[in-house]
Chains A and B, each alone.
Chain A
Amino acid sequence: MNPLRIRQRVLLLAIVCCGFSGQAQAQADPIKFGKVSVADFTPLAADSAAPAVVLCDFGVSKVVGGDDGFRLNFERTTRILIRRKAGYDWATVEVPLYHHDERTERIKALKGTTYNLEGGKLVATKMGNESIFRDKVDEHFNNCRFTLPNVKEGSIIEFTYTLDSDFLFNLQDWQFQYTIPVRWSEYRTLIPAYFRYKQITRTYLPFTIQEEKSVPYSTRVSQTLDGRLDKQDIPISTNALSSRWAMQNIPALQKEPFMTSNRDYFSSVEFELAVIQYYNQPPKDVANTWEKIAEDLLKEEYFGHDLNRTSPIAAAMAELPARYPEEQARAAAVVAQVQQAVKYNGEERFLTQVSLKQAVKNGQGNSAAVNLLLVQALREAGLNANPLLLSTRSHGHVLLDMPVLNHFNYVAAHVRLADGKDFLLDATDPLLPAGMLPERCLNGQGRLITDIPAQNRWVSLAPAQRHTEYSNANLTLAPDGTLQGKGHWEWGGYAGLEARATGTTDLVRTLRQHLGDETPNPAPVLPAAADISKPLALDMTVQIPGSEAGAAGTIYLAPMKHFGLTSNPLRAENRYFPVDFGTGRDRTHLLTITLPKGYSVAELPKSQVFTLPNGGGQFQYSCLQQGNTISITSRLSLPKTQYPTTEYSALRELYDRVAAKHAEPLVLSKITNTQP
């Protein structure tokens, strides 16, 4: 919900009626509540595995006249076939109801019926009031929850309700696809010419019907006219835009690893109120443009209002330019101080909800409070800083040609360095180095919001840093197969962030488990205040027990298993949606092994290079002998943050190769005199 728009008063001006009146020729509805037939129970082969199937989901939104102007009316009728017990959850429905000040959304005409086939006969059970509950969720939302009675495997449930809304800007979105199959989903809107909404459709699937036409429209509005106390009922006739979208036989959405928000994948249509133009009035552009979004935000109490004021930590900021003449170091110092002043409370928002002064007083705040204070402080430290509006990975993609404020849910800080380069900052995570955004923010582009409209632009959120893992070990082999020596590990970029969040104790525990190291070596102690802008580094003595018991005088050794990747993270053989890693990835492992006296190399794994198409990455492996030492190098580089479905099988195959190569053993044999 967009709070900026909520505060806007929709003013209804005097309306003059025109003589023309007519009834829109309605399209036949795809469903009528209560008209369930025995045929509806016939399952389709395509749905055989589904726990439930939406037989029909039908919604109609209309702008209608009412008290003091127009309002929105949304009717929904849904019929679901419950096929298996796992589908019982679909018989419980939740409708969120928004309210703000005196205005509200109300649920009306709620009805529900369950149909069962008993001995070939249709038996209907109506939902009673005892199955309907209303609960308060928070200060702006209530919840209406209901559950259908007498649900069994094979039941058809049906419900219908009307949502009567005072919020014209909140034309109900429609979701066509669910995690169960849908046989028919249809949405219609009827919008009188006074209002124009922008449509945003997202879908990987085609629409069966997508049409719009102009139809006659009439309604009544009751309104107080100038100089009169009582309300007058005014009939209105004009034209309306009638739109219709439908999809047939929509498969269930498949969830896969490495995806962003579900919202990016479900087929849906959304709306944004763009223009209000009452009769004989000039059009009022309420639609957002990127310019207007920036302008509004900068005026907004909980966004731009505080930016040009003195921050509560201004005094400390004033000292920084002298101490840190270099811009990036200064920015890092500002981030550290902001973190001390306001703790991130985990809420992803772009409005602060309290003044920055209050946030500092509270010692905690949402992402907007933390990062707008950061912008304010960066400016006070003499840097060219501005807010960067964005949408997190769990919130979904931003559509660049669709200026819709509520597609955003987060704000970070942008600094324009003296050399003109972008430097992105976020103070919500104490482990995050300056110049990096948290992983949740790696989601396409962010919108820069500045006082100078010409400078507002898109800034790529693609990270400069990758997810980098590095290890280097120097080991000596004993005749019993044991490897002993020293290892050095480094986690850089996003891997560093992850490793620091894991903590040294768990990190060492995992490493030692991988190594199979069971010696009670004391855990290495890391300096507590290690510089987070550097990779996290760790040095440790290691002892890897020999495992592959070979024939007498033979040693089999697969040491890379203990350092590198050993299994494929991309498990499923097929992929419906792109793989979205968020960051590029690099893994490098170097091993040097000194052989025991009297042993020689019988076999070594082959050195090989595997390359992905379209610059997708590479795996290099080499195993070389020099005198009595063997050097093994494994380097995996995946520079892209996103891999399209077409590149999935190559990417999966590459990972397969990595795991297989790391499992390949070296074969060493004891030099005997009898050997030729």
Chain B
Amino acid sequence: MRLHFPLIAGLLAFTSTAGASPKVRFPVAAMPAALRENAHAVVRLYDHTFTVKSAGQAVNTLHFAITVLDEQGDDYATDIVSYDRFTSINYLRGTVYDANGKLLRTLRSSDIKDVSLSSGANLSDDNRAQVARLQQGSYPYTVEFEEEYTTSNTLFYPVWRPLLNTHLGVEQSHFQVLMPGSLPALRYRELNLPAEVQAKHQTVGNQIVHEWSIANLPALELEAYSLPARELLPAVYTAPSQFEVQGHTGDLSTWEGLGKWEYKLNEGRNVLPEAVTARMKELAQRVPDMRERTRQVYEYLQGSTRYISVQLGIGGWQSAPATEVATRGYGDCKGLSNYGMALLQAAGVPSYCALAGADQPDIQTDFPSNQFNHMILCVPLAQAGRRDTVWLECTSQTAPFNYLGDFTAGRHVLLLTPEGGRLVRTPVYQSTDNTQFRRADVQLDELGNAKATVRTRSAALQQDDLASYMHNLTPEDQKKRAYSQIGIPSFTISRYNLAAAPAAPLPAMVETLELTLPRYATITGKRVFVAPNLLNQSAAPEPMLGERKTDMWQSFAFLDADTVHLLMPRSLQPETMPAPVQLSSRFGSYSAQTQALPDGTVQYIRRLQLNRGRFPKAEYPAYLEFRRKISKADKSTLVFLKTDV
């Protein structure tokens, strides 16, 4: 499925207020100085008008001017207007002014490049763009663009984000939607808008005009441990009730309606070649248990297909017929999910395709609109009368059965059922799911050199990267990757192995390492210093600069437990042991203790559990203190005395 948020565009005809001196435009001196703070660029003016012509056609008209303050703002001097089979560009004009507002240059049509936006992952698609670049060598300078494009794909209405990004100030931004009175009312959702911003709605002739304006917004700078920018920036989402793509009409006013449209689009595309149907029937007979049967069907799917993306026209939303996927052995997320559904159906297991917003923050659940870019498969099984839903990622040939990685887990997805769409949540992996258990045995010699054997078991979200290394890298490259990720100052990996742990409810990987650690212990005179926390030292948090402005966000919940056994030569006697540390807070808990065991070895045990969550900004100092204490405890050193000197 294509990610298809059209670039925010378009506006209203600019009513020229600069009548006095028509040649000077957007002089930098006329801009409030406060907008330059923390900003690489300032939006001087942004007008986006979205004119809905009919249920199946709309026009975006944009006029905007941006002053680029420094090199990091240069990207704003590039205008990319994308188009595809459904979108045609009516015009694209550009002008650039110097700091005083003097015209430097007007874009010529030969300066506009036509490029393909097709990425490497796509075998073929029709995403193209016109690109205009107006970068200048001396700052500040101001670019002005005017553009208009018509689309016959009304599944997407624009999202207005006056602050296009962080580090950008806004002098004026204006958004308006013109709806014909004959169509159902515009649907919109406001997010993070300052209180003084009020929408205006009025009827002009046979059109209903909706308007939003904002002025003098200072640049936003993300703080450490911040929520994603998208959740902090002001925005107005808009969406139609009725829409149309290539003759396929739908109702977007409810999740049900969107789901119905997508379901209808793919209806009847589940016919399998006879041989495949026969194979699934045979499987159904041989394996009575539904869950086990589902697992075997998924294995068959993974073993006989691969992900190849082709997105052309309605093909961006409609899946390839199951027959084609079966014969070619490849498809995109829609093709493969639909094929998986057809296979399960033939094997007597009902399932539903589900639209998902992969690799992005969760969708706005209270605003039905197309916020999705991916498709997965949901198998609503039950066990002993209790719900036991299985989730399948059909684009991966290596994903474990019933496991959604960070890509789609913990999010709302839209189930496509014959009755319409239904919003459900994919599993959330908790800190006690995302575990990393490690045991290390370190043997130290008189010179401070060490050898270590380390075994680490990582589960759920903590195993995602490791699993991908195992599947995609050669053993030599896996070892190279380990070299780049281990934080010990100097070491050599003498043996490395990465393997999947035996099947469990959640997938896990086991990494086994043998390390030689030259000068792991530091010797100064008769003392020997050893850091018992071999592989899991956490970095100090960033110090707080000024007052915290936004809430903090810990996105990843996990539990790490490390046990290190230290075996020293007899000549070394412990002088000091770090005192045990135990911390507990609403952010998580930490403990570390070092003790000499009766057998002459030293044992270090560390446990860190962090919770996922959003915490009020007032708690930030406490959070910093928590992290700082952990970082400090992680660095603590054992001191031995040499008894033979």
Contacts and interface: CB of A to CB of B under 8 A. Distances in A.
Say whether A associates with B: yes
A362 B111 contact: yes
Contacts of B636: 547-549
Interface stretch (A63-71, A239-247, A516-524): A516-524
Interface string A280-311: 00000000000000000000000000000000
Given A49-B474, A345-B133, A520-B543, A92 B123 contact: yes
Interface string A594-617: 000000001111000000000000
A86 B136 contact: no
A339 B136 CA distance: 9
A665 B529 contact: yes
A342 B488 CA distance: 46
B104 to A, nearest CB: 6
A136 B116 contact: yes
Interface string B136-176: 11100100000000000000000000000000000000000
Nearest to B104: A363
A92 B308 contact: yes
A556 B543 contact: no
Contact of A147 (B138, B330, B472, B539): B330
A112 B358 CA distance: 34
A655 B635 contact: no
Contacts of A430: 71
Contacts of A342: 137
B525 interface: yes
Contacts of A567: 487-490
A550 interface: yes
Given A513-B542, A664-B524, A85 B123 contact: no
Question: Which of B124, B304, B324, B397: most chain A Cβ within 10 A?
Answer: B124
Interface stretch (A22-30, A150-158, A203-211, A578-586): A150-158
A660 B303 contact: no
B540 interface: yes
B639 interface: yes
Interface stretch (A375-383, A395-403, A568-576, A627-635): A568-576
A571 B484 CA distance: 7
Contacts of A274: none
The B contact surface, by secondary structure, is: mixed
A551 B105 contact: no
B544 A520 contact: yes
B544 A363 contact: no
Nearest to A363: B136
Interface string B521-535: 011111101000000
B637 interface: yes
A50 B542 CA distance: 42
Contacts of B488: 567
Contacts of B53: none
Nearest to B107: A362
A660 B519 CA distance: 7
A138 interface: yes
A572 B137 contact: no
B350 interface: no
Interface string B108-146: 000101011010000110000000011111100100000
A363 B518 contact: no
A340 B140 CA distance: 11
Given A85-B471, A571-B483, A520 B635 contact: no
A676 B330 CA distance: 82
Interface string A648-676: 00000001100110011111000000000
Interface string B619-645: 000000000100010011101000000
B96 interface: yes
B543 A512 contact: yes
A153 B303 contact: yes
A483 interface: no
Contacts of A254: 476
Interface in A505-549: 509, 512-513, 516-520, 523, 545, 547-549
Contacts of A549: 576, 578-579, 636
Nearest to A133: B124
Q: Chain A, interface size: which category?
A: 35 or more
A88 B628 contact: no
A318 interface: no
A615 B488 CA distance: 29
Contacts of B308: 92, 147
Nearest to A85: B397
A364 interface: yes
A472 interface: no
A472 B274 CA distance: 78
A520 B472 contact: no
A145 B116 CA distance: 14
Contacts of B71: 430
Contacts of B133: 345, 364
A466 B31 CA distance: 42
Contact of B529 (A363, A519, A548): A548
A517 B543 contact: yes
Contacts of B525: 602-604, 667
Interface in A80-122: 84-86, 88, 91-92, 114
B386 interface: no
Interface string B82-119: 00000000000000100000001100000101011010
A361 B639 contact: no
B524 A666 contact: yes
B137 A135 contact: no
Interface in B324-352: 324, 327-330
A462 interface: no
A670 B524 CA distance: 17
Contacts of A133: 123-124, 310
Contact of A137 (B116, B518, B519): B116
Contacts of A571: 483-484
Contacts of B304: 150, 152
Nearest to B303: A152
Contacts of B364: none
Contacts of B632: 545, 547
B490 A655 contact: yes
Interface in B288-316: 303-304, 306, 308, 310
Nearest to B124: A133
Contacts of A605: 524
A149 B329 contact: yes
A145 B487 contact: no
Contacts of B471: 84-86
A563 B444 CA distance: 28
B492 interface: yes
Given A523-B545, A667-B524, A667-B527, A659 B489 contact: yes
Contact of A363 (B96, B123, B543): B96
A6 interface: no
A150 B542 CA distance: 51
Contacts of B397: 85, 88
A457 to B, nearest CB: 31
A519 B543 CA distance: 7
Contacts of A125: 327, 329
Interface in B501-526: 518-519, 522-526
B135 A604 contact: no
A126 to B, nearest CB: 11
A509 B71 CA distance: 21
B124 to A, nearest CB: 4
Nearest to A362: B105
List the 7 closest A-B pairs by CB distance, nearest first: A603-B525, A343-B137, A150-B329, A133-B124, A659-B489, A571-B483, A656-B490
Interface of B: 71, 74, 96, 104-105, 111, 113, 115-116, 118, 123-124, 133-138, 141, 303-304, 306, 308, 310, 324, 327-330, 397-398, 471-476, 480, 483-484, 487-490, 492-493, 518-519, 522-527, 529, 539-540, 542-545, 575-576, 578-579, 628, 632, 635-637, 639
10 contacts: A86-B473, A145-B123, A150-B327, A343-B135, A518-B543, A547-B636, A548-B636, A549-B578, A568-B490, A656-B489
